[in-house]
Amino acid sequence: AQSVTQPDIHITVSEGASLELRCNYSYGATPYLFWYVQSPGQGLQLLLKYFSGDTLVQGIKGFEAEFKRSQSSFNLRKPSVHWSDAAEYFCAVGSNDYKLSFGAGTTVTVRA
Amino acid sequence: GAVVSQHPSRVICKSGTSVKIECRSLDFQATTMFWYRQFPKQSLMLMATSNEGSKATYEQGVEKDKFLINHASLTLSTLTVTSAHPEDSSFYICSAPTSGVKETQYFGPGTRLLVL
C-alpha cells in the first residue's frame, strides 16, 4: 500500500526567506509523486510532478522538488517565499490506477 | 489548462435529506473521476472511483449505499449523499485525469456540505 508522510504540520517563514517542505513516501514500485497547493476556499493546484528522469523537478510559482530514492523523499523547496505562498501544501503519491494518496498537509504561514 | 467544476460550492441541508453534488470536466472527457473527502485541517481521503459506463468502486470503509455515485457521461459524475447526518458534514472534492496516469489530475474547487 502506498502512503505519504509530511512531518511538518505547520511552518512559519519570513517573506523572502527560503522554504523547504518535507515529504516521505512508501510505495513498492517507482512512485509517481506530486505536490499540490490549496489556498483557503480553493481547489488543489498542481505545483509539480515527478514520474521519471531528472530527479530535480521544476514547477510553477518558483517551486522545485527533488526525488531521492535512497531516502524515499520528495521535498519541496522555494528559494524566496512571497506572502501569496501562504497556503496548505500536500504531497501525494500516485499509482497506475490513477489513485492518489495524500499526506496530511503542511500549513505555511508567511510573516512580513 | 483543463478545468473541473463542482456544483454546488456549498450546501446546507437538514439531517435525513439527500444531497447531490456534481462534478464536471469542462474541456476534456474523463472516463474516470475520483471523489475525495476532506475534514477540516486534514488531508484528502479517497472515497471512490467513478467509472463512466460501469459501477463505481469504493475504498474500504466507504458505504456505497450512503454515497451513491453515477458517472452519467464522459464529462459528468455525481455524488449523492443519502440520508445525510451531521457527521457527513465535510468538504467533498472531485478530480479527473486528462488521459493516462502520467497526465495531470485536475481537481474541482470542492463542495462544502453542512448537515444540520
CA distances in angstroms from A107 to A15, A90, B10, B43, listed in the order given: 15, 9, 23, 11
**Count of H helices and E strands in chain A?**
0, 12
pLDDT at A98 over 80: no
Contact criterion met (CB < 8 Å) for B34 and A95? no
Q: How far is B9 from chain A (nearest CA, A)?
A: 10
Contact criterion met (CB < 8 Å) for B101 and A32? yes
- The Cα B43–Cα B94 span in angstroms is 14
Q: Which residue numbers of B have CB closer than 8 Å to A's CBs? A: 4, 32, 34, 41-46, 49, 93, 95, 97, 101-102, 104-110
Closest CA relative to residue A8, chosen from A83, A84, A76: A76
DSSP B28-95: S--SEEEEEEE-TTS-EEEEEEEETTS--EE-TT--TTTEEEEEEETTEEEEEE-S--GGG-EEEEEE
Neighbours of A60 (CB within 10 A): 10
Closest CB from B42, B108, B109 relative to A104:
B42
* DSSP strand pairing (A106-111 vs A10-14): parallel
- The Cα B115–Cα B85 span in angstroms is 6
Q: Which amino acid is at B45?
A: M
C-alpha cell read off for A38: 490549496
pLDDT at B102 over 60: no
Measured between CA atoms, the residue of chain B closest to residue A37 is B107
pLDDT at A95 over 90: no
Q: What residues of chain B lie within 8 A of the CB of A89, using their CB?
A: none
Q: Give the model's confidence band at B45: pLDDT under 50 very low, under 70 low, under 90 confident, else very high.
A: very high
Percent of chain A with pLDDT strictly greater than 70 = 99
- The Cα B95–Cα B33 span in angstroms is 6
Residues B73-94 have a mean pLDDT of 95
Q: Which residue numbers of A have CB closer than 8 Å to B's CBs? A: 32, 36, 42-46, 49, 51, 90, 94-105, 107
